[in-house]
Amino acid sequence: MDPRAGTPAQAIDLIDTDAVIGAYYDRRPDLDDVAQQVVFGTSGHRGASLDGAFNEPHILAITAAIVEYRRAQGTDGPLFIGRDTHALSLPAWQTALEVLAAAGVEVHIDARDSYTPTPAVSHAILLHNGAATSAGVRSQGPGLADGIVVTPSHNPPRDGGFKYNPPHGGPADSDATGWIAARANEILRSGVGQVRRVSLETALAADTTRRHDFMAAYVDDLPNVVDLEAIRTAGVRIGADPLGGASVEYWAAIAERHGLDLTVVNPRVDPRWEFMTLDWDGKIRMDCSSPSAMASLVRIMAGDGAGGSAPYDLATGNDADSDRHGIVTPDAGLMNPNHYLAVAIQYLNSGARPHWSPTAAIGKTLVSSALIDRVAGSLGRTLLEVPVGFKWFVPGLLDGSVGFGGEESAGASFLRTDGTVWTTDKDGLLLALLAAEIQATTGRSASQHHASLVEQFGESWYARVDAPATLAEKATLGRLTPEQVRSTSLAGEPITAKLTTAPGNGASIGGLKVTTENAWFAARPSGTENVYKIYAESFISAEHLALVQVEAKAVVSAALS
């Protein structure tokens, strides 16, 4: 933990936006350096222009590859494209539009020339492809839409990101991203001068470039997935902090359109994120699940530390592209994301959504809390435990066989009230509004509901530790096998399982999970940053969790040595 974690950013922490944008246009990647090639992680290609990892050649090549990919797949409908508030997002969005227009792709851009949250892009794709109709979402045939979101999510301000959503509306699977990345790198090596493009002015004026009101479509449809009438009637006071991200205008529109007592806590947009408090490692990062990054909002809910009362019944935060949520209550502060996921699952499957299929499964990533397992068991619901990555929930959300899919990193989505698909990408606004619905319909905060779950299932201690790792170390970690774990016990308990594939679908987890009766840890490389992650949980004590973490680190160190 950096000693300045949770304190306001200072001038030394801020990026030089001119330098970041200048490097995007001026720097050419060194393709002999793997770190400067196109690599798709769990949420697209990410990198920094100053490092030669996110520059105009990358975006030219990726977009050209997407044009080829969608053509090969027979996707000939509109492509919905959105962007967040990072400094590199607008330049990359412009570059992509120039290539798409030159290729004759019908592109739908934001009608307000503004920011578009990731869930709004997913929502737009699905509506075009048949969601909310009796026929449901089409998976084949002419006119299917897909999309691009230009965002590095919660990454630091210097970073850029670029991800592709196929016609199912969710993150592309590894087959698609693998093909796109390989083809993009081929184009980079042969020279991006071959990529056809037109000027930005020509692209914006092209007949194939259409204006789409992402915000109105999303905001107007919200009553079909969350009980806004109950929130309005109960007068729940909501403080929504966009953390300088793409949800900033959406929250104001939601408040006005649906008559909610909702205040946008901080409407500022600054690509340097001058107003942020520093994350655990001393970096500016818009991680709404981090107590350090959310310190300002937590202080507001604590009466600014002056003995005052909380100004809201509920406060929420979102990351830069609004696919993640942070829930702050007056009685508990910032909730652990796992705790809130368990509460949301318990609430939604205990009569709040009577039109969902009684066999609809509960989806969780295998690094999410085992509290979810216990809640699912008490509900009699099937638990679908999958590797890290929201893409694994897409098929089930599409056909209604999965009612709720959630990740430990504060990302989730769930079905409409009629049991049909809402979004197949994470929706931070939706999960924030659900916390308000829970408050409105039960009279208890989400954290109070979690306290009840603790009484029923026991208290757990959960933590994730990040540590620096080279690309080679990350690759080694991703190839760990059960045989490399020679221990038979973990923190004083017999090991009950050593997993390298997910129980829910048999897919590789790209790492290792070790379980005991009352604890577990999982180790996996980050798909977006040069770190590795150790997730651990104990149902015994905080001290036991610390012991689990120590022994987990020893296992990882032995594997990397």
User: Are 538 and 507 within 8 A, CB to CB?
Assistant: no
> Which of 140, 142, 82 minimizes the C-alpha distance to 114?
82
Task: Give the residue, 510 or 3, on which the prediction is more confident.
Answer: 3
Judged against a pLDDT cut of 70, whether residue 306 lies above it is answered with no
Q: What are the strands of the beta sheet with 411-414, ordered from one edge?
A: 383-386, 361-365, 402-407, 411-414
CATH 3.40.120.10 residue ranges for the chain? 11-217
The Cβ of residue 395 has, within 10 Å, a number of other Cβ atoms equal to 16
Q: Residues for the chain: how many in total? A: 561
* Residue 481 CB burial class (10 angstroms; 0-12, 13-18, ≥19): exposed
Judged against a pLDDT cut of 70, whether residue 15 lies above it is answered with yes
CA distance 551 to 278: 29
Judged against a pLDDT cut of 80, whether residue 344 lies above it is answered with yes
134-147 pLDDT, tens digit each: 889 998 899 999 99
Please, what is the average pLDDT of the chain? 95
Pull the structure tokens for residue 221: 């449809």
3-class secondary-structure state, position 430: helix
pLDDT grade, residue 527 (50/70/90)?
A: low
CA distance 388 to 510: 9
Of 71-85, 432-446, 521-535, which gets the smallest average pLDDT? 521-535
Q: What is the identity of the amino acid at 51?
A: D
> Which of 148, 153, 146 minimizes the C-alpha distance to 46?
153
> Which of 160, 202, 192 minimizes the C-alpha distance to 60?
192
CA distance 323 to 306: 33
Compute the average pLDDT of residues 96-115: 98
pLDDT computed for residue 127 by the predictor: 98
pLDDT computed for residue 41 by the predictor: 80
Of 54-58, 118-122, 353-357, 473-477, which gets the smallest average pLDDT? 473-477
Q: What is the identity of the amino acid at 535?
A: Y
pLDDT computed for residue 415 by the predictor: 98
pLDDT computed for residue 221 by the predictor: 98
> Which of 216, 217, 214, 222 minimizes the C-alpha distance to 115?
214
| pTM given for the model | 0.95
Judged against a pLDDT cut of 70, whether residue 307 lies above it is answered with no
pLDDT computed for residue 6 by the predictor: 97
CA distance 45 to 550: 32
Task: Give the residue, 558 or 191, on which the prediction is more confident.
Answer: 191
CATH topology of domain 461-560: TATA-Binding Protein (3.30.310)
pLDDT grade, residue 485 (50/70/90)?
A: confident
Catalytic positions are 153
CATH 3.30.310.50 residue ranges for the chain? 461-560
Pull the structure tokens for residue 40: 């798709």
CATH number of 11-217: 3.40.120.10
pLDDT computed for residue 469 by the predictor: 81
3-class secondary-structure state, position 515: strand
